[in-house]
Structure 1
Amino acid sequence: MEQISIVHHKLIAYLHWRQRHRHSEFLRYPVSSSQQPLVCFTFGLVSVIFRNNPPHITTLCLDFEPPSFQSILPFLLHPILFHSTYNSASFLHSGLLTKVLVQLHSFFSSIYLGTSEITMGDVAKDLTAGTIGGVAQLIVGHPFDTIKVKLQSQPIPLPGQLPRYSGAIDAVKQTVAAEGPRGLYKGMGAPLATVAAFNAILFTVRGQMETLLRSHPGATLTVNQQVICGAGAGIAVSFLACPTELIKCRLQAQSALAGTGTATVAVKYGGPMDVARQVLRSEGGIRGLFKGLVPTMAREVPGNAAMFGVYEALKRLLAGGTDTSELDRGSLLLAGGLAGAAYWLAVYPTDVVKSVIQIDDYKNPKFSGSIDAFRRISASEGFRGLYKGFGPAMARSVPANAACFLAYEMTRSALG
C-alpha cells in the first residue's frame, strides 16, 4: 500500500504547517506521557491496518486544539466515503484521508482532555471504567457471538437438504470439532483492538448528553432522559461499530460458509488486518469498511436507548429510589444482564440484516440494500429468518452485559 506512505507524508507536512502557523494553539493543551497512548490510539489503529506503523505517526505533534464534535461529522459523513463510483486510490492520494485522520485524532484528544461542559477527570474515569467493562463483556460474550453469526450467515438449504447447523448446540460442536476451542474466539482481534475507543465514545457521549440534559449540575435525570442519552451514544458508536463488526463477521462467517460454493467465501482471510486490507483494496476503499452502516445505526440507536433506559429503571427499582449508589454486586449484575437482554429484544432483526449485508459478496451481491435484505429474508424464511441466532445472542447478552456493567460500576466507584 504505497499510497499510505503518501498519506503519511501529507499528514506530517500538515502537522508541520500547523505547528509553524498555529504554534500558540498547540501549546494550549499539553499532553503528558501517560495520556499519549489514548491520544494516539486512532492513528495507531488506522495506520496498522495498512502496513507496519512507523513510530513517528504515534509521536508527532500531540498538542492539537480540541475541536467541537460537529467538526468531525463533515468528514465522517462526506459523500465521497459512500459514493459507489469513487476510486479508492484517488481517495488515498487526495488530502481527504489525511483530514479524516487528523480530525479523528483531534476528536479523541478533545474527548480525553475535556471540554467546558465536562472535566478531564470525568472523561478519564468514564474512559477507564468503560474500557474495563468492554473487555469483560468481550471475554464473556464473544463465543456466543461467534455462534450467533454462524447461524445468521449459513445459506438457505436447498429442498431436501438439511441446514449446515441444526441449532446453536450443533454449531458449537461443529466449530470445536473443526477448529478447536479457539474457533469460538475467531474474529475477536478486531473488537478487542477497538474496545477502548468504542467504550470511550459510548460512555463519554452518554456523559456529555447527561450534562446537556441536566437542569443544574448534579441533578438526577429521569429514565426517559437516560433513554435519550443512550440513543445519542448509539449514533456516535455506530461509526466505529460498523467497520469493526464487518471484519468480525467476515471472519466468523468464513468457516460457516466454507464448502458451500458461494462467491462469498472465494476470498480467504488470514485475520482481522487481512480482512481490512482486502476490503480496502477490492471493495471500494474506505467505503467498503462502512458497508452496513445503515442497519448498524438502526441497531445501535434504539438498542442503546433501550439498554441504558432499562438499566437505570431497574437500578432504581432495586434501590427503591433514585439513589442507586449503595446497590450490591448482585443487583448490578441483575440490572446489567436484563438491560443487555432489552437491547436485543428491541433490535434483533436489524442485526440479522446487518450481518447478511456485511458478508454479502461485493461483485455479485444477493441484496441491493437493507430493505431488500429484510424483504427477502422475510419472504424466504418467514418471521423465524429474522431471528436466526437469537438464542445465542440472548445467551451471550445477559452474562456479557452483566459483566460489563458490573466492571464499569466497580471501576467508576473505585476511581471516585
Structure 2
Amino acid sequence: MTKSDFVLGGVAAMGAVVLTNPIDVVKTRMQLQGELAARGTYVKPYRNLAQAMLQIVLNDGLLALEKGLAPALCYQFVLNSVRLSVYSNALEMGYLQNEDGSISFYRGMFFGALGGCTGTYFASPFYMIKAQQHAQAVKSIAVGFQHKHTSMMDALLHIYRTNGISGFWRAALPSLNRTFVASSVQIGTFPKAKAFLKDQGWVTHPVLLSFCAGLTSGTLVAVANSPLDVVTTRMYNQPVDEKGRGLMYKGLVDCFTRILKTEGFHGMYKGFWPIYFRSAPHTTLTFVFFEKLLYLRDRYVIPLHKN
C-alpha cells in the first residue's frame, strides 16, 4: 500500500459514517437509558431502532440524527488511516504470512488489533466528543448525563480548559479494549470470509464479494463487542470533577461491575441491535468505498501523473 491508500482508507470510513451515524446516535442513547437502574424501573424513550429514530425526529428534528457527525468523521479518518497503515506495513514486511504464503488468521487478528488500538488512542478525543454529542437531546427524550457542547470546537476548548490535555484521553482504556476486540475480529475475519466465499465459488462479483464478507465480519464484531461498547459509552459520557475523575465510575472494572449489579447481563447488551445494524453496514460500506476509491485513483489519477 502507498501513503495515498491510507488516506483513501480514512476517507472511505468517513463516507460510511455519514450513512451510519444516525444508527450510532440511537445506539448511544439506548446504552445510556436506564443507567444504573434495575430493569423495568425506568422509562424507556427508545425501545427499538425504528421507534427511536422516529422519536428523535419528532422531538428534536431530522438533523438531530446526525448529531456528533463532525467528531465521528475525524475519529473514523484517524482510526482507519492508522489501522490500515499498521496492518498493510505488517503485510508487506511478511509478518502476516504462513510458510506457504497464506495469511495467518491469528497474526491477522493481532496486527489488526494493534493497528486499531494505535488509531483509537490517537483518535480518542474525537470518540469522547462524539459520544457526548450523540447523547445530547431535548429534555423530553434525554438520557444519561447531558453535556452542553455547541460544536466540536466548543467541546475541545471546554475539555482543555476544565481538565487540560489529559482530559482528552480520559477513559481511553475501555476504548482501547473495545477497539482491540473489534479490530482483531473485523480485520482478522474479513479477508478469511472473502477468500472462503471466493474459493467456494459462492460469490464472484467483486462488489458483492466485499459486501458479503463485510456483512459476515460486521456480524461477528457486533456480537463480540457489545459489552465493551456499552462500557466505553458510559465512561466517556459520565460527568467528571475538576481533576478529570469520573463521578459515576471509578474505572473500567468498576463500570463493568456496577452495570452487572444494577442492570444485570441485559445491561451489557443494551443497544445491541443498533450496534449490529451499524457494524455490519459500516464494515461493508468502508471496504466497498475503499475498493471503489482505489479503482478511481488507479484509473484517473495515476494516468495523469504518468502523462
Is the 1:149–1:252 Cα contact (8 Å) retained in structure 2?
yes
Are 2:191 and 1:307 aligned?
no
**Secondary structure at the residue paired with 1:366?**
coil
Query: Of 188, 191, 207, which residue of structure 1 is paired with 2:69?
Result: 188
Are 2:45 and 1:164 aligned?
yes
Equivalent AA in structure 1 for residue 6 of structure 2: L
Is the 2:91–2:97 Cα contact (8 Å) retained in structure 1?
no
Mark the runs of 5 or more structure 1 residues left unpaired by the alignment: 1-121
Per the alignment, residue 17 of structure 2 pairs with 138
1: CA distance between counterparts of 2:27 and 2:167? 23
How far residue 167 of structure 1 moved from its aligned partner, in angstroms, is 3.1
Is the 2:23–2:49 Cα contact (8 Å) retained in structure 1?
no
Is the 1:152–1:352 Cα contact (8 Å) retained in structure 2?
yes
Is the 1:141–1:399 Cα contact (8 Å) retained in structure 2?
yes
1: CA distance between counterparts of 2:190 and 2:80? 17
Matches within 5 A, 1:351-366: 351-363=229-241, 365-366=247-248
Are 2:92 and 1:211 aligned?
yes
2: CA distance between counterparts of 1:223 and 1:300? 18
Change beyond 3 A, Cα 1:261–1:393: closer
1: CA distance between counterparts of 2:64 and 2:217? 28
Per the alignment, residue 238 of structure 1 pairs with 120
Query: What do residues 169-201 of structure 1 show as CA deviations (whole Å, max 9, x unaligned)?
Result: 332122101221111100001122344333221
Moved more, 152-161 or 267-276: 152-161
2: CA distance between counterparts of 1:374 and 1:160? 20
Query: What do residues 295-331 of structure 1 show as CA deviations (whole Å, max 9, x unaligned)?
Result: 111011121111111101111111108xxxx752111
1: CA distance between counterparts of 2:58 and 2:122? 33
2: CA distance between counterparts of 1:398 and 1:170? 20
How far residue 271 of structure 1 moved from its aligned partner, in angstroms, is 1.2
TM-score normalised by the chain length of structure 1: 0.64
Per the alignment, residue 227 of structure 1 pairs with 109
Q: CA RMSD in A?
A: 2.9
TM-score normalised by the chain length of structure 2: 0.85
How far residue 129 of structure 1 moved from its aligned partner, in angstroms, is 2.9
Per the alignment, residue 2 of structure 2 pairs with 123
Is the 1:190–1:272 Cα contact (8 Å) retained in structure 2?
yes
Per the alignment, residue 47 of structure 1 pairs with none
Is the 1:319–1:327 Cα contact (8 Å) retained in structure 2?
no
2: CA distance between counterparts of 1:160 and 1:192? 36
How far residue 261 of structure 1 moved from its aligned partner, in angstroms, is 9.9
Per the alignment, residue 252 of structure 1 pairs with 134
2: CA distance between counterparts of 1:220 and 1:333? 22
Is the 1:223–1:312 Cα contact (8 Å) retained in structure 2?
no
1: CA distance between counterparts of 2:206 and 2:97? 29
Are 2:196 and 1:317 aligned?
yes
Per the alignment, residue 178 of structure 1 pairs with 59
Query: Of 343, 367, 373, which residue of structure 1 is paired with 2:221?
Result: 343
Are 2:259 and 1:380 aligned?
no
Change beyond 3 A, Cα 1:165–1:197: closer
Equivalent AA in structure 2 for residue 269 of structure 1: H
Query: Of 377, 386, 406, which residue of structure 1 is paired with 2:288?
Result: 406
Change beyond 3 A, Cα 1:261–1:410: closer
Query: What do residues 191-241 of structure 1 show as CA deviations (whole Å, max 9, x unaligned)?
Result: 22344333221111111122330569x954223322122111122112133
How far residue 253 of structure 1 moved from its aligned partner, in angstroms, is 0.9
Are 2:153 and 1:273 aligned?
yes
Per the alignment, residue 112 of structure 1 pairs with none
Equivalent AA in structure 2 for residue 153 of structure 1: L
Equivalent AA in structure 2 for residue 250 of structure 1: Q
**Secondary structure at the residue paired with 1:255?**
coil
Matches within 5 A, 1:91-106: none
Is the 2:215–2:283 Cα contact (8 Å) retained in structure 1?
yes
Is the 1:226–1:312 Cα contact (8 Å) retained in structure 2?
no
1: CA distance between counterparts of 2:97 and 2:232? 38
Change beyond 3 A, Cα 1:385–1:179: same
Change beyond 3 A, Cα 1:166–1:126: same
**Secondary structure at the residue paired with 1:405?**
helix
2: CA distance between counterparts of 1:362 and 1:306? 32
2: CA distance between counterparts of 1:247 and 1:276? 8
Change beyond 3 A, Cα 1:328–1:279: same
1: CA distance between counterparts of 2:78 and 2:123? 10
Of structures 1 and 2, the one scoring higher in RCO (CA 8 A, sep 6+) is 2
Equivalent AA in structure 1 for residue 25 of structure 2: T
Query: Of 21, 29, 33, which residue of structure 2 is paired with 1:150?
Result: 29
Equivalent AA in structure 2 for residue 356 of structure 1: R
Equivalent AA in structure 2 for residue 301 of structure 1: F
How far residue 414 of structure 1 moved from its aligned partner, in angstroms, is 4.7
